[in-house]
């Protein structure tokens, strides 16, 4: 706790930098949580990105920092899937890097930044010029840096063949003095050590378990009726985007196997940016299974509001209280925010034993319905038991909540961030 107390007496001006801080992607959500914790400790947080919904008076919007900026996308498209780049492409990358460096320096000078927290831009090469610019600024200024890495290039097949290996070795991540590297799971920690010889700290994704989850209120009480479900229906919530790695076909198979017309599968998020083939596959599976599936992405947003035709828009946290069961059959996750959300809302969860779950979460003792790539008879039987047995359900969700409090609460990040700052500043914080 000493680092905490010292951190409160010596506030720092902290700069968060990424391609975007906007919406509900994992990087944005975790960055907001870190900022809340740091501000609670007395620090001042500022924001730099190409797409922002952060407070304007503490933010610098730099459109060129967004990975979908036209100039950036044109350059990025020539880097991957090939093994050689042209001299002209190198010049374009260097030009973008220099322009971005100017913007980062302007951000540092405007807000007198004392600590840099690059969010994922030194890990996954979605924006190579920005990663290079960030690395050079750290090297030139010597500013203390906490690099928060969510996804690495080696974890994504699409980056395996590339013409920028020299850049990836230099900046994704950089091996510079004065950087505290933070990863979100132990597998990334081991790979970072093996590939780059870099030590790192695991700070998992977190939720505010100290504050009870939102419940039903006058606004969200009608979610079931608004999406066409009866109070007697069993709402199985799939709280993810519609992308192949989420394994939604397994949730469909589970509902089919339960053979109970009251069971309705509700998918909360829209399709991702990976094309329509997966949605087409799911529609075919749904038709074959003859089950009731509701895709409600048009009714779920970042905040409450109204659709263009006047219907209510709910948040995901408005939907969770109505769920009887949460399915999380993902094939791969960097961590697993939806798993934490299910625990936070005290809902039983069906979870596929993806690698990070198996290594970092399962050993902690959570009570879940586990599947391993298939919906077995045992999975179906356990699901039926959990849905039918209120006492068992209550025991599970209470135990899980307490484990969430112990391992994935804000208190965990609070302690570990204080330690990172102490490492960077010594007695100065």
For 406, residues 6+ apart whose C-beta sits below 8 A from its C-beta are none
Buried b (16+ CB within 10 A) or exposed e, 395-426: ebbeebbebbbebbbbbbbbebbbbbbbebbe
For residue 103, the model assigns a pLDDT of 98
For residue 25, the model assigns a pLDDT of 85
What are the average pLDDT values for consecutive 10-residue runs of the chain, which has 429 residues? 46 97 90 97 97 97 98 97 97 98 98 98 98 98 98 93 97 96 97 97 96 96 97 97 94 98 96 79 96 96 94 97 98 92 98 96 97 96 98 98 97 95 78
Domains of the chain: 2-206+409-428 (3.40.50.2000), 223-407 (3.40.50.2000)
Contact 120, 147 (CB under 8 A): no
* Coil vs helix vs strand at 271: strand
For residue 3, the model assigns a pLDDT of 40
For residue 23, the model assigns a pLDDT of 85
Measured distance CA(181)–CA(174) in Å, rounded: 10
Q: Is 399 left (phi over 0), alpha (psi -120 to 50) or beta?
A: alpha
Q: How far is CA 77 from CA 80, 95, 168, 275, 426, in A?
A: 7, 16, 16, 17, 43
Name the pTM for this structure: 0.91
Contact 335, 205 (CB under 8 A): yes
For residue 272, the model assigns a pLDDT of 67
- State which H helix or E strand residue 193 sits in: helix 186-196
For residue 274, the model assigns a pLDDT of 63
Measured distance CA(348)–CA(327) in Å, rounded: 9
Q: Is 52 exposed, middle or buried (0-12, 13-18, 19+ CB in 10 A)?
A: buried
For residue 26, the model assigns a pLDDT of 87
Can the peptide bond before residue 173 be classed as cis, meaning omega within 30 degrees of 0? yes
């Amino acid at each position: 706790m000493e680092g905490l107390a010292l951190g409160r007496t010596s506030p720092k001006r902290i700069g968060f930098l990424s391609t975007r801080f906007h919406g509900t992607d994992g990087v944005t959500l975790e960055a907001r949580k870190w900022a809340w914790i740091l501000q609670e400790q007395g620090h001042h947080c500022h924001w730099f990105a190409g797409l922002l919904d952060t407070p304007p008076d503490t933010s610098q919007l730099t459109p060129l920092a967004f990975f979908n900026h036209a100039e950036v996308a044109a350059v990025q498209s020539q880097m991957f899937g090939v093994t050689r780049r042209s001299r002209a492409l190198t010049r374009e990358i260097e030009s973008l890097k220099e322009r971005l460096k100017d913007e980062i320096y302007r951000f540092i000078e405007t807000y007198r930044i004392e600590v840099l927290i690059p969010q994922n831009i030194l890990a996954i090469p979605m924006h190579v010029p920005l990663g290079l610019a960030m690395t050079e600024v750290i090297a030139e200024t010597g500013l203390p840096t906490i690099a928060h890495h969510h996804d690495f290039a080696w974890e994504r097949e699409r980056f395996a063949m590339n013409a920028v290996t020299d850049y990836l070795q230099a900046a994704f991540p950089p091996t510079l003095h004065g950087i505290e590297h933070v990863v979100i799971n132990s597998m990334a920690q081991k790979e970072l050590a093996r590939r780059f010889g870099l030590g790192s700290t695991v700070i998992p994704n977190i939720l505010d378990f100290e504050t009870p989850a939102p419940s039903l209120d006058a606004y969200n009480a009608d979610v079931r009726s608004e999406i066409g479900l009866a109070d007697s229906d069993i709402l199985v919530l799939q709280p993810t985007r519609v992308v192949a790695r989420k394994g939604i076909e397994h949730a469909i198979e589970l509902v089919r196997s339960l053979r109970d017309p009251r069971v309705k599968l509700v998918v909360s998020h829209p399709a991702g940016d990976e094309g329509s083939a997966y949605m087409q596959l799911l529609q075919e599976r749904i038709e074959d299974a003859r089950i009731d599936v509701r895709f409600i992405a048009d009714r779920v947003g970042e905040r409450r509001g109204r659709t263009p035709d006047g219907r209510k828009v709910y948040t995901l946290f408005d939907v969770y209280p109505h769920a009887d069961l949460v399915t999380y059959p993902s094939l791969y996750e960097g961590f697993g925010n939806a798993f934490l959300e299910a625990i936070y809302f005290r809902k039983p969860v069906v979870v596929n034993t993806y690698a990070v779950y198996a290594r970092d979460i399962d050993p902690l003792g959570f009570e879940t319905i586990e599947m391993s790539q298939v919906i077995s008879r045992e999975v179906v039987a356990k699901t039926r038991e959990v849905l039918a047995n209120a006492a068992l359900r209550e025991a599970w969700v209470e135990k899980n909540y307490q484990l969430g409090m112990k391992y994935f609460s804000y208190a965990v990040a609070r302690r570990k961030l204080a330690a990172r700052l102490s490492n960077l500043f010594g007695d100065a914080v």
